[in-house]
Amino acid sequence: MLKQNHLYEVKTPPSVSHEKAFSILIASRSAEALTQLKSALSLMPAGVKINCRLISNGHSDPLHGLEKLPDLLIFRVGDCWQAELESLCARPPETRVPMLVVSTEAQSSAMRLSMKAGARDFFPEPLEDGELLRVVDQLYRENRDQLSSLNTHLTVVMNAKGGSGASLIATNLAHQLASAGKRKVVLVDLDLQFGSLSHYLDLKPQRGIKQALDNVEDLDGLALEGYLTRHVSGLKILSSESDRLLLSDEVSSDQLMQLFRLLAKEHQHLVVDLPRQIDLVTSTVLEQADQIVLTLQQGITYLRDAARLIEVMRRDLDIPDHRILVVVNRYDKASPITLAEVSKALKHQPIVTVPNDYKHVSEALNNGMPLLDIARRAPISRALHGLSEEVTGGRSPARPGLLGKLFHLVKGD
């Protein structure tokens, strides 16, 4: 028996992540229609919560009196369709939600009024098999993609082979961006077992990334500052803990992206030193990255590993070449392996170089200082400055979501 003018839960899937469930409200004056629409959405993914509302006498607005608005309204209108849709048109724009209209009336005036009320799509009855499910699933995935996207610039630095110098490049790239580029930058150490970025800048963090992840549900921008360590240049570090080793399955990719979204609210650029491995956490970060700075040296084993890693990114993670920036570190013009051979082996271009400078690098590491402060005019510092300009100037346009590609406001008149 349906309870009139009350919400009742149709499906409450078990919690599978730390992200807010996508909520759908199905509203109608017909109990039979609610049952049919509920059945049509029975195959929705687990991250969806569906409620129904049976409208009886009183307000025509299906959202009237709700303390919390749904992410999507499916409104089945009947004989009183004009009054019902006009009640939604009368709502202030900021209180409207994405809506799909299902109607017994297929005339053009009903479609136009639905569009005026903000409907994303209009479905005359009887519904075609699977049509509503397809559109709702696309809306859900679009919402999920928007939640997971970052409104900041994310650069990942990663070794193609261990010892290629990714941590040094990540640290100094972030420092260049923060000092020379005058940006709000956070350097994130995702080497959860042997992270050392704080030592590169002679910093002694009191808290680390695992503690931030454990408390991410309760953090806001101000509280998050307590987990960041600030360098004199303005660069901030989110480091890994030095007193314990973390396994990759101890870190949730959902929690990590939630943490990144918090960082993105207050900072223009995130630079992530990513360990050389492919798992759920690293692949999530790689897929979100604007650039992946893949670091290697001139050697056969480096080329083999780099070629294999690039192929994994292309084939398995669907990362396009323009988001992969290959950097040959400790570059030596006299090496028998030329840049042309590197490009040919990796099937990738262009190749960026950072020259070998053992003296200044050793001095920087031993003193916990960035190269820009040790040797501002040295070729290695100039090369890193060029890399920072390459990173900030090469950002690809925002990737369009499914909603913009697949939805019509209203089906043809």
> The CATH number of the domain where 283 resides is what?
3.40.50.300
- Of the three residues 107, 129, 147, the one that is the final residue of a domain is 147
The pTM of this model reads 0.63
pLDDT of res. 258: 87
Domain interval for residue 179: 150-393
Q: How far is the C-alpha of 308 from the C-alpha of 294, rounded, in Å? A: 12
Residue 181: predicted pLDDT: 64
Together in a domain, 115 and 251: no
- Distances from the Cα of 297 to the Cα of 159, 172, 348, angstroms: 10, 18, 15
Question: Are 183 and 117 members of one domain?
Answer: no
Question: How does DSSP assign 80-126, residue by residue?
Answer: THHHHHHHHHTS-GGG---EEEEES--SHHHHHHHHHTTEEEEEESS
pLDDT confidence of residue 355: 97
Look at residue 411 in the predicted model and tell me its pLDDT: 36
Cβ contact 306:296 at 8 Å: yes
Reading the block at residue 11, the tokens are 């499906």
Residue-level pLDDT at 19: 47
Residues 389 and 311 in one domain: yes
Low pLDDT (below 50) residues in the chain: 1-19, 394-413
- Tell me, yes or no, whether 158 and 117 share the same domain: no
The reply to whether 207 and 79 lie within a common domain is no
Pairing of strands 7-11, 48-54: antiparallel
Check residue 404 and give its pLDDT.
35
Tell me, what's the pLDDT at 160?
95
Residues 326 and 201 placed together within one structural domain of the fold: yes
Strands 72-77 and 99-103: parallel
Query: Is 178 inside any structural domain?
Result: yes
- Same domain (yes/no): 324, 232: yes
